[in-house]
Amino acid sequence: MVYINDNFTRLPETYLFSEIAKRVQAFKNEHPEAQIIRMGIGDVTLPLPKTVIEAMHKAVDEMATGATFKGYGPEQGYSFLIDKIIEHDYKALGVELATDEVFVSDGAKSDTGNIGDILSKDNIIAVTDPVYPVYIDTNVMG
């Protein structure tokens, strides 16, 4: 017999942003000519700058030959990236950080969920209303 985490049954039926995306897509299918102004979710809209595109092409080419191919990276991020983050984002502002004080994750949303795992269920938390939905949902799940 397998028991589920009952907290999941307390989540709202639909995830806000997912629901908005589905409704926008449905409208777009019915009105392909419509110019939609999206106010439902903050998103990036401008193309990536040339230096980023060039760096990404270079990284792809590294994966094409045995001499430069990379397998699994270190799970807290490549040291060449961590060193640059410390140098440009922190040292430039007068903040000293050691390499083991920076880790490269897969993004703020998974982090928000994972931080909850570190904390005990005995904590009492308060969230504002309205609030970014992830802050509520991850706490309800936990």
Chain residues that interact with its own copies, rule: CB under 8 A: 2-6, 8, 15, 17-18, 21, 41, 43-48, 50, 53, 56-57, 60-61, 63-66, 69, 71-72, 74-75, 106, 110, 117-123, 141-142
d(CA 141, CA 11): 7
Comparison of 85 and 141: residue with beta carbon closer to its own copies: 141
93 DSSP 8-state letter? G
CA neighbours within 13 Å on the CB side: how many for 117? 5
Q: Which residue's CB is nearer to its own copies, number 136 or number 142?
A: 142
Q: Work out how close the CB of 95 gets to its own copies at its nearest, in angstroms, rounded to a whole number.
A: 24
Question: Cβ 94 to its own copies, closest distance in Å?
Answer: 29
Angle CA 124–125–130, to nearest 5: 150
Beta carbon nearer to its own copies, 91 or 125: 125
Buried b (16+ CB within 10 A) or exposed e, 27-49: eeeeeeeeeeeeeeeeeeeeeee
Q: How far is CA 115 from CA 100, 108, 124, in A?
A: 18, 10, 15
- At its nearest, how many Å lie between its own copies and the CB of residue 30? 17
Rounded least distance, CB 66 to its own copies, Å? 5
Of 8 and 27, nearer to its own copies (C-beta) is: 8
